[in-house]
């Protein structure tokens, strides 16, 4: 095994303890490098920089391992024309739980692992029966350990987890490509789950999750693994398109909307995350109760959907991106509903644990979890509403309005105006600054870029990266706001649709000939799926920051640079100069 050096995050007076991957496996400690904050941009080995404990990280590793075993049978079942949509959705939802800041509840992970083992055995049974019927004999092929290992003893889960994690793949470049794939799949899985909740599913998405996870149990060539990454980008585009169709079919096309960021006099419920169906059901159940509903973080774009604008008690947005929640949840005073990531650990002085709730794929120890809706029914938010009535109204932390609703349908409706502005020179360049926000100080780069961009540029954004600049007064160009917010991170699909429409209007042969530069901020796994989507669409010259992913090895970085001209961010001034020159 080649030894890669990692730094152990100790708080021992700033001393660094150098450890190797063989040491990690021998000592059976955690290793996680899936998010942008990973320690030293190499890997977290004692506790996640996000706060994730070792046991939680290891249980997530074991869950991924068992899902790979399910996929082994899923791929073989597909060869016999067996498609199991229920198992496909289970795999998507299980992957979703392992996204950064989604689920911290070890008991939930133990339960999901047990369910995954049952799902695997059920799919195994279907495959074996079909194989025997077709071939007249029992299947006797060799199977990967992930398809055969089993235990119903939770105590053994941790022990097994420590031998099947990220570093169990010895070759650094193979490990990098496999983890790049799995991390991208997590983003695709999250979007597939959102769409499924609204009744929109595609078997080919689930089939690809199976094919890709199964591929990580095989010895593939570098070219084959890179091809799978690009195929993940294609599936990410299709999954985001499906989710876009689900959201707009249910709630209408987003409209240009001024969103209030102040507060009213009524008690409120704060809803965070991405799940619009939860938003819908919460608004219905709070109607006429005297309780207002405020969005937070990635739920901000919900304010632009026509179906939600009809509710007078949909009061606006409270606060900013996910990492401010320790302060903002405290000052909100009322209940908080976390529908998806990001939920972060509470600090010692936080007092809101008794009024925060999780639902769906999210979870947190000792926090009340709202069960899934019964078939054909709705989730029951009565406990949250009852609590809200006893709480004080939110404490005001800011006032004013922010503008959103610039998804593809709305921007294309303004196409003539936008095209005229480009042709006249009023708009010189579009800068796509979509992606994630995060805690690290270097992310102030994105605020600085927004502030220093020439006044004849327009920022296209989606995801919580917007909070770095969406409250700045950047003005407009002939009535076109200089920040066009397409919505949640999955609405990066809208930005792709807009770019392709402009390519068509300007009769260009290559998307890279458009006056568009990409300055993307990433943090977690959905942003990786969006990055792969852009690569599939042929976008080149993407700037990615605030750091390149720690899970990408130097050799894989070299491939990405050669094939796609991916580059790290520089200073705001240097990058602005380069982008304005089309570089």
Instruction: Give the tens place of pLDDT for each residue, 559-579.
Output: 999 999 999 999 999 999 999
pLDDT digits (tens, 9 = 90+) for 490-519: 999 999 999 999 999 999 999 999 999 999
Q: In the numeric block, which tokens belong to residue 268?
A: 């409120």
Q: What span, in angstroms and rounded, lies between the C-alpha atoms of 545 and 521?
A: 5
Query: How far apart, in Å, are the Cα atoms of 495 and each of 152, 487, 498, 516, 578?
Result: 46, 10, 5, 11, 21
Judged against a pLDDT cut of 60, whether residue 180 lies above it is answered with yes
Helix axes 222-251, 492-505, angle to 10 degrees: 100
Interatomic CA distance for residues 404 and 301, integer angstroms: 7
Q: Residue range 361-371: average pLDDT?
A: 98
**Range with the lowest mean pLDDT among 31-40, 153-162, 446-455?**
153-162
pLDDT at 27: 58
pLDDT class of 1 with cuts at 50, 70, 90: very low
Are the CB atoms for 263 and 363 separated by under 8 Å?
no
What span, in angstroms and rounded, lies between the C-alpha atoms of 458 and 481? 8
Fold of 423-580: Rossmann fold (3.40.50)
Strand duo 5-8 + 516-521: pairing = unpaired
**What's the pLDDT band for 28 if we cut at 50, 70, 90?**
low
- Kindly tell me if the per-residue pLDDT of 11 is higher than 60: no
Cβ proximity of 483 and 402 under 8 Å: no
Q: What percent of the chain has pLDDT over 70?
A: 95
Average pLDDT over residues 271-284: 98
Domain ranges of the chain: 5-140+148-248, 257-388, 423-580
* Alpha-carbon span 457 to 482, nearest angstrom: 7
pLDDT exceeds cutoff 60 at 126? yes
Q: Which CATH fold topology does 257-388 show?
A: Rossmann fold (3.40.50)
CA-nearest of 459, 450, 448, 444 to 517 is 459
Nearest alpha-carbon partner for 525 in 47, 32, 160: 32
Q: How many CA atoms lie within 13 A of 476 on its CB side?
A: 8
Answer whether 471's CB lies under 8 Å from 402's CB: yes
Closest Cα partner for 405 from 323, 309, 520?
A: 309
Q: How confident is the model at residue 171 (pLDDT cuts 50, 70, 90)?
A: very high
- How would you classify the pairing of strands 567-568 and 543-545? parallel
The pLDDT assigned to 461 comes to 98
Label residue 137 exposed, middle or buried (CB < 10 Å: 0-12, 13-18, 19+).
exposed
pLDDT band at 14 (very low <50, low <70, confident <90, very high): very low
Strand duo 336-338 + 268-272: pairing? parallel
Task: For the beta carbon of residue 235, count every other beta carbon within 10 angstroms.
Answer: 26
What does the pLDDT look like over 408-448, one tens digit per residue?
A: 999 999 999 999 999 999 999 999 999 999 999 999 999 99
End-to-end Cα spacing for the chain = 40
pTM of the model as a whole: 0.95
Determine the average pLDDT of the residues in 60-69. Answer: 98
Quickly state the pLDDT bin for 29 (edges 50, 70, 90): confident
Q: Is the confidence at residue 110, as pLDDT, over 50?
A: yes
What share of the chain has pLDDT > 90, as a percent? 94
Among 520, 450, 532, residue whose Cα is nearest residue 185: 532
Is the bond leading into 290 cis (omega within 30 degrees of zero)?
A: no
pLDDT value of residue 562: 95
Q: Do domains 257-388 and 423-580 have the same CATH topology?
A: yes
Quick one: average pLDDT of 113-120? 98
Quote the pLDDT of residue 268: 98
Range 5-140+148-248: architecture per CATH: Up-down Bundle (1.20)
> Phi first, then psi: what are they for 108, rounded to 5°?
-65, -40
Q: 360: left (phi > 0), else alpha (psi -120 to 50), else beta?
A: left
- Parallel, antiparallel, or unpaired: how do β-strands 401-404 and 257-260 relate? antiparallel
């Amino acid at each position: 095994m080649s030894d890669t050096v990692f730094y152990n995050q100790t708080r021992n007076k700033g001393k660094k303890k150098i450890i190797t991957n063989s040491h990690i496996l021998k000592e059976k400690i955690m290793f996680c490098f899936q998010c942008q904050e990973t320690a030293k941009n190499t890997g977290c080995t004692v506790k996640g920089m996000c706060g994730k404990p070792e046991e939680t990280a290891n249980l997530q590793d074991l869950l991924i391992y068992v899902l790979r075993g399910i996929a082994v049978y899923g791929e073989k079942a597909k060869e016999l024309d067996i498609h199991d949509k229920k198992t496909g959705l289970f795999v998507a939802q299980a992957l979703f739980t392992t996204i950064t800041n989604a689920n911290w509840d070890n008991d939930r992970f133990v339960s999901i692992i047990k369910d995954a083992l049952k799902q695997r055995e059920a799919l195994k049974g279907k495959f074996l029966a079909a194989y025997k019927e077709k071939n007249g004999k029992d299947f006797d092929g060799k199977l990967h350990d992930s398809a055969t290992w089993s235990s119903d003893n939770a105590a053994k889960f941790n022990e097994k987890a420590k031998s099947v994690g990220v570093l169990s793949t010895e070759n650094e470049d193979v490990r990098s490509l496999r983890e790049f794939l799995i991390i991208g799949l997590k983003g695709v899985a999250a979007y597939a789950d959102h769409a499924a909740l609204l009744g929109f599913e595609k078997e080919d998405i689930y089939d690809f999750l199976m094919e890709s996870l199964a591929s990580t149990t095989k010895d593939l060539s570098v070219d084959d693994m890179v091809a799978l990454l690009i195929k993940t980008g294609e599936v990410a585009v299709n999954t985001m398109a499906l989710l876009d169709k689900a959201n707009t079919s249910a709630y209408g096309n987003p409209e240009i909307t001024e969103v209030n960021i102040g507060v009213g006099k009524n008690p409120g419920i704060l809803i965070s995350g991405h799940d619009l169906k939860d938003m819908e059901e919460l608004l219905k159940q709070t109607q006429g109760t005297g309780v207002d509903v405020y969005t937070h973080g990635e739920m901000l774009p919900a304010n632009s959907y026509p179906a939600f604008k009809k509710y007078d008690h949909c009061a606006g947005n409270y606060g900013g991106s996910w990492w401010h929640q320790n302060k903002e949840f405290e000052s909100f005073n009322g209940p908080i509903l976390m529908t998806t990531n990001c939920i972060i650990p509470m600090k010692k002085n936080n007092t809101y644990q008794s009024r925060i709730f999780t639902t769906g794929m999210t979870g947190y120890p000792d926090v009340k979890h709202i069960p899934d809706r019964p078939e054909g029914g709705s989730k029951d938010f009565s406990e949250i509403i009852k609590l809200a009535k006893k709480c004080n109204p939110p404490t005001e932390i800011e006032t004013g309005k922010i503008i959103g609703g610039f998804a593809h349908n709305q921007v294309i409706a303004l196409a003539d105006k936008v095209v005229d502005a480009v042709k006249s020179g009023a708009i010189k360049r579009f800068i796509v600054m979509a992606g994630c926000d995060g805690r690290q100080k270097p992310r102030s780069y994105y605020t600085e870029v927004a502030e220093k961009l020439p006044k004849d540029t327009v920022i296209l954004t989606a995801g919580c990266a917007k909070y770095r600049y969406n409250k700045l007064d950047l003005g407009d160009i002939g009535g076109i706001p200089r920040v066009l917010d397409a919505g949640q991170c999955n609405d990066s699909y809208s930005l792709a649709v807009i770019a392709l429409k402009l390519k068509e209007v300007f009769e260009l042969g290559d998307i890279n000939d458009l006056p568009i530069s990409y300055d993307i901020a990433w943090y977690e796994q959905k942003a990786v799926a969006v990055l792969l989507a852009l690569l599939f669409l042929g976008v080149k010259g993407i700037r990615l920051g605030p750091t390149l992913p720690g899970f990408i090895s130097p050799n894989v970085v070299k491939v990405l640079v050669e094939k796609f001209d991916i580059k790290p961010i520089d200073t705001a001034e240097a990058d602005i100069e380069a982008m304005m020159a089309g570089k």
